[in-house]
Structure 1
Amino acid sequence: MFKKFTNACVNVVQKYLPDAFIFCIILTIVVFLAALPVTGMKLWDVADAWGKGIWSLLKFSMQMALVLVLGTALATAPPVKRAINAAAGVPKSPTSAIVFITVVSMIACWLNWGFGLVVGAILAKEIAKKVKGVDYRLLIASAYSGFVIWHAGFSGSIPLQLASYTDEINKQTAGAVTESIPTSQTIFSAWNLIIVVAIIIVIAFVNAKMHPLPEDTVTVDPKLLVEEKVELTKATTPAEHLENSPFLSITTALIAITYIIHSVIVNKGLNLSLDVVNLIFLTLGIIFHGTPISYVRAITDASKSAGGIILQFPFYAGIMGIMTAAGPNGHSLAGAISDFFVNISTQTTFPLFTFLSAGIVNFFVPSGGGQWAVQAPIVMPAGNSIGVSPAVSAMAIAWGDAWTNMLQPFWALPALGIAGLGARDIMGYCAIVLIVTGIIIGCGFLFLVPFLA
């Protein structure tokens, strides 16, 4: 029965979910039209909001492209390939492969979302080479499913912002937060950790149960996943000697390492921001590839899969511009969605409805920082007024932001780029993950939070 339902979801998505870019365009049109009656803006005002927003994620787009390119290039370095190959050899059957990649990806994403996205996809690709009969689509979907818990982990932008209180946080929350909220009340709260552990265990089981029957399994020829080997030639000219100089690679890496160590000393710890993760990927890639020209070739090859990010992220930035733009009535489209759920909430149901509203908003504003800017001024004061802890209100937004990533191609692009798949190949399986995790998280807010928060 479960496999029939899964197969039905996969078939529906395969037939009706268009390419991720087409999905992005349709989403743009829907948001554009919805903003007109809700915000009271005129046609050209909505177009202005889109145009002003379209380039607002350029820095973030470059960061995400680098996550993909630098992570992939690092994975092709001989020492790293050997380590990944060793890890990929752990599972011996299709079921154990799905469970293994799910658990590894979940833990990696909880530690750091950028690291988890890349490591999960690369490891899944290597497992596909070794385990016969494993469904490649489900393998990549399982690797991506780990992303559902990122905002409840070490790199969760919302809980980390609240732990480092500034006047800006007070402004963002419309005065609802007046002091720092330690991570012991958010990331490391008992109720949050229980939800995380429950999701890891349950989704590992669910993903394994979703594996198709042999006749329905879509495998990939391991030969298609093998990277082309570059034939090394002996350096004969001064330019070629420079290109193949390990000294240049080591010197560059030492500069980066010095910076990282100094930052740790000054900041009294390593803050794994996206920039730091990319710098670590860059430094390790330079070291493990050995020579500058070897790393250049790896980066050139890895860059081929970054097209989806480069094309689609500006459109999502435009969607965010429309969603957050307020019309003459003072309402934005994202704010209207949040207001609706706030108005029907009680103290008990407020965290659940905040989670659901955040999940809806995330389809249109697929950025934790952007979503916080939209919802915090509405949700945080409302939560305070009915007696809900600011830590709980904030984590409800964070969980909603992470939850619907399972059906939002925006964040899947790096993993899909590495795997060589399209969104429709994995989203049927991700829809099941969305349903199951939604139930777990919702029950957590309804039944755990009242007793443990």
Structure 2
Amino acid sequence: MRALTSLFDRLVQRYLPDAFLFAIILTILVYVLGVSFTDSGPIEMVSFWGNGFWDLLAFGMQMSLVVVTGYILANTPIVKKALKSLSSLAKTPAQAVILVTFVALIACLINYGFGLVVGALFAVHVARRVPTVDFRVLIASAYSGMLVWHGGFSGSVPLTIATPGHFLEDLMGQVPVVETLFSPANIFIVLTMVITLPIFNRYLLKGATSSHSASHIPEDDEQDEEPVVKATTPAEKLENSQIISIVIGGLGLIYIIYHFATNGFDLNINIVNFIFLFLGILLHRTPKRFLDTVSNGVKNAGGIIIQFPFYAGIMGMMTTSGLSEQISHWFISFATDFTLPIITFISAGLVNIFVPSGGGQWAVQGPIMIQAAMELGADLPKTAMAVAWGDAWTNMIQPFWALPVLAIAGLKIRDIMGFCVMILFFSFIPIAIGLLLF
């Protein structure tokens, strides 16, 4: 394991380009594949790319706010103290990796956006507590929490098919979460991941080829206590007024209570951002302190803003040209009722590299796989969850979701990808066992 980890770490350090260039290479690859293997011509593929280029604007804004609002909340004095207190549980590098992995897994089971931010920010605090830990391994461990998100409470596939009127209801009906999220297969996979992945990640420390410890940890440049400011003008008095923050923050809290009272435990990405934003306003106490933190936080969102449109273009080419459908049909051409879930899982993992959006991938691949399951007599809920787990699985080698984590950590994708490849190989085992034997 040490040799393999060291090998992949060296390879990606040497050959893997920046995440932005990775998106460019994927764009060119999908363009060539579309021209070569579909009926789409060169100009048509360009049009598919351009027409889809802006389809993720809303989602890109959501993910930018995940980073910014998470940074705002994490840099409030009370949250920083809580994170520092929890990080004190780690005394050694091994304990640091285990603790960060466990916290990230639990947070991502609750909500993927919440888990991404909490995992990365907590990793930074743990690294400051244990500066001898390899920071790259620690951030890779934080990102590994994304492996379980689609088997958790924010999983787009199980939540979609449990919603009345979903687009495949005529084909498969409404599937309650007891048959997907709380099925024996999903429970086995999630529990196995939560128990074994922290231990596995701990051994990745042995394969690190270079030390990325204290000098690579982002500095704690935020003050724990609000500085005393003597306001001399009406404008400065407003900027330093705690009343302003209390009023607008209070309105936000009222809406949060109303949301959960009327919708139940609906912890979607918008309400997570809303909670982070208004708690940040309240806990920073004054508009000035809040805005100063915002200025620092927005620096972390640059990669997301510029790269998400390129992935939207890739998705446009994949879906409109029919390339994603061809990939799915090829995989199911040799499936049986027993092997369809695992084949669906592998094909979903491949498609996810080019269409890294759970909801978008289900819209493309779901109808094909569910129709195949009906024709073969395979388990429909398990087939749907196979798509979900395939989508989550190859997130480990797809920089799309790593961008918020890397932004918070101040690292590049090549810094963590070698370890993520090892996590990808390991996670295949419990997922495959769950889909085949339960």
Shorter-chain TM-score: what band? over 0.9
Q: Which stretch shifts more, 225-234 or 5-14?
A: 225-234
Q: Does 1:225 align with 2:219?
A: yes
What letter corresponds to residue 238 of structure 1 in structure 2? P
Q: Choose the corresponding residue for 2:189, options 186, 195, 202.
A: 195
**Secondary structure in structure 1 of the residue aligned to 2:179:** coil
Gaps of 5+ in 2: none
What is the aligned partner in structure 1 of residue 387 from structure 2? 397
What is the aligned partner in structure 2 of residue 413 from structure 1? 403
Deviations 1:382-414 (A, max 9, x none): 111111122111100000000000000000000
Q: Distance in 2 between matches of 1:98 and 1:427?
A: 16
**Secondary structure in structure 1 of the residue aligned to 2:105:** helix
Q: Distance in 2 between matches of 1:29 and 1:103?
A: 37
What letter corresponds to residue 265 of structure 1 in structure 2? A
Retained in 2: the 8 A contact 1:68–1:118?
A: yes
How far is 1:200 from its partner?
Answer: 1.8
Q: Does 1:366 align with 2:365?
A: no
Q: 1:246-325 to 2 correspondence within 5 Å?
A: 246-267=242-263, 269-325=264-320
Retained in 2: the 8 A contact 1:112–1:155?
A: yes
What is the aligned partner in structure 1 of residue 200 from structure 2? 206
Question: Cα gap change, 1:429/1:441 in structure 2, threshold over 3 Å: closer, same or farther?
Answer: same
What letter corresponds to residue 432 of structure 1 in structure 2? M
Aligned residues: 436
Q: Does 1:103 align with 2:102?
A: yes
Q: Distance in 2 between matches of 1:207 and 1:152?
A: 20
What letter corresponds to residue 182 of structure 1 in structure 2? P
What is the aligned partner in structure 2 of residue 122 from structure 1? 121
What is the aligned partner in structure 2 of residue 40 from structure 1? 39
Retained in 1: the 8 A contact 2:9–2:208?
A: no
Q: Does 1:427 align with 2:422?
A: no
Question: Cα gap change, 1:388/1:214 in structure 2, threshold over 3 Å: closer, same or farther?
Answer: closer
TM-score (norm 1): 0.94
Q: Distance in 1 between matches of 2:26 and 2:107?
A: 30
Retained in 2: the 8 A contact 1:128–1:222?
A: no
How far is 1:293 from its partner?
Answer: 1.1
**Secondary structure in structure 1 of the residue aligned to 2:180:** coil
How far is 1:194 from its partner?
Answer: 0.8
Question: Cα gap change, 1:270/1:201 in structure 2, threshold over 3 Å: closer, same or farther?
Answer: closer
Q: Distance in 2 between matches of 1:214 and 1:344?
A: 40
Q: Distance in 1 between matches of 2:252 and 2:118?
A: 22
Question: Cα gap change, 1:167/1:159 in structure 2, threshold over 3 Å: closer, same or farther?
Answer: closer
Retained in 1: the 8 A contact 2:5–2:207?
A: no
Q: Which stretch shifts more, 223-232 or 439-448?
A: 223-232
What is the aligned partner in structure 2 of residue 160 from structure 1? 159
Q: Distance in 1 between matches of 2:136 and 2:301?
A: 20
Identity across the alignment (%): 46
Q: Distance in 2 between matches of 1:215 and 1:113?
A: 30
Question: Cα gap change, 1:215/1:223 in structure 2, threshold over 3 Å: closer, same or farther?
Answer: closer
**Secondary structure in structure 2 of the residue aligned to 1:430:** helix
Question: Cα gap change, 1:43/1:265 in structure 2, threshold over 3 Å: closer, same or farther?
Answer: same
What is the aligned partner in structure 1 of residue 21 from structure 2? 22
Q: Distance in 1 between matches of 2:74 and 2:333?
A: 49
What is the aligned partner in structure 2 of residue 451 from structure 1? none
What is the aligned partner in structure 2 of residue 52 from structure 1? 51
Question: Cα gap change, 1:215/1:176 in structure 2, threshold over 3 Å: closer, same or farther?
Answer: closer
Q: Choose the corresponding residue for 1:241, options 237, 240, 245.
A: 237
Retained in 2: the 8 A contact 1:31–1:323?
A: yes
What letter corresponds to residue 177 of structure 1 in structure 2? M
Alpha-carbon RMSD across the aligned residues, in angstroms, is 1.5
Question: Cα gap change, 1:214/1:187 in structure 2, threshold over 3 Å: closer, same or farther?
Answer: closer
What is the aligned partner in structure 1 of residue 339 from structure 2? 349
**Secondary structure in structure 2 of the residue aligned to 1:410:** helix
Retained in 2: the 8 A contact 1:125–1:225?
A: no
